[in-house]
Chain A
Amino acid sequence: MEWRFDAGGAIYAQMVERIKEAIASGAMAPGARVPAVRELAIDAGVNPNTAQRALAELEREGLIYAVRTSGRFVTEDEGAIETVRRELARGHAESFITAMAALGYSGAELEAFLKNYIREKEEE
């Protein structure tokens, strides 16, 4: 995974976000092994405690689960994966809509714009 962090905001939270994206997009398949804390820390170039905290958070949210002695794995609960996918999609939609609203697009205009844009892209 390519790791890049924004200046502001906790690093563990950004790691949680990135791993959620990987799970939602299927880059990390259901049941796949999640890197161990130290492995993840070295890969992302972060403090092992930070990596630990990110994994604990994902575990708490039920997106990964720990098996004693063999490590952590991505959840196989498709409902949970779908939920996180929607959650991330909502986040993207929200920031898009906020940005468009700032440009003066109303709800109806926005919908029309999107339809047009998608058609243009498909014709290309």
Chain B
Amino acid sequence: MAVLTCRGLTKKFGSTVALDGVDMTVEPGRIVGLLGPNGSGKTTLIKLANGLLTPGAGEILIDGKKPGVETKKIVSYLPERSCLPDWMTAGELMGFYRDFYADFDRDAAAGMLSRLSIEEKQKIKHMSKGTREKVQLIMVMARRAGLYLLDEPIGGVDPAARDYILNTIISSYNPSASVIISTHLIADVEKVLDDVIFISCGKIMLAAPAEDIREQRGKSVDEVFREVFKC
């Protein structure tokens, strides 16, 4: 069964249409790139999958269920904004995740933190912006989730941090889980993607395996993206 299914998914904010009849499925074990320019509807789609927004029309299903308490148990979400409660220490944050998520692997999280030499006693508010972002990614990837939704995980980070983030994603997700990475920086992520979905103005423009695109068109996904979204 598909991990994520959208059927005629539509969302409007006032008169602006953020998503316009989106149909798509994500199968288990795939790393999917949700690629589109800023304002194309990527974040709206991810928020709908998390139940942070409700669809205007159509439906979105996670493991066959509407977003709710049950789906939140298996979805691990990295929001676009860094939003950790800053009064907590790294250790308290792990306790928080452990309390609410049965699939949180505290040992894995502690291991990743110590590799970055972040101490458990360190307070979030005393960390740099880059460190905070990494800590949040660690909390998200240390869950043994069924679906990871990563909204712009590499937006505005330096190349070393980008490699760290992509390596963390590759090395921590389990092969039966799916990962959706939303981004407009295609060249940076295309090597880690199984499938790509191009989205523009709330509509799906192209959905195909990344290797098929490269093989059939003899071009990188990034180049194809630039053609599709030529201004």
Give Cα A5–Cα B30 distance, bound, in whole angstroms.
21
Given the complex, which residues of B lie within 8 Å of A38, measured CB to CB?
170-171
Residue A41 lies at the interface, judged by CB distance under 8 Å to chain B:
yes
Q: Cβ of B219 and Cβ of A7 under 8 Å apart? A: yes
Q: Cβ of A41 and Cβ of B170 under 8 Å apart? A: yes
On chain B, the number of residues with a Cβ less than 8 Å from chain A's Cβ atoms is: 23
Given the complex, which residues of A lie within 8 Å of B219, measured CB to CB?
7-8
Residue B124 lies at the interface, judged by CB distance under 8 Å to chain A:
no
A-B CB contacts (within 8 Å), total count: 55
Contact of A47 among B194, B217, B220, B223 (CB under 8 A): B194
Give Cα A5–Cα B218 distance, bound, in whole angstroms.
13
Give Cα A10–Cα B222 distance, bound, in whole angstroms.
13
Q: Cβ of A7 and Cβ of B222 under 8 Å apart? A: yes
Q: Cβ of B170 and Cβ of A11 under 8 Å apart? A: no
Residue B163 lies at the interface, judged by CB distance under 8 Å to chain A:
yes
Residues of B within 8 A of A (CB): 29-31, 163, 166-167, 170-171, 175, 191-194, 210-211, 214-215, 217-220, 222-223
By Cβ-Cβ distance, the 4 closest A-B pairs, closest first, are A7-B220, A8-B218, A10-B215, A10-B211
Residues of A within 8 A of B (CB): 5, 7-13, 38, 41-42, 44-50, 53
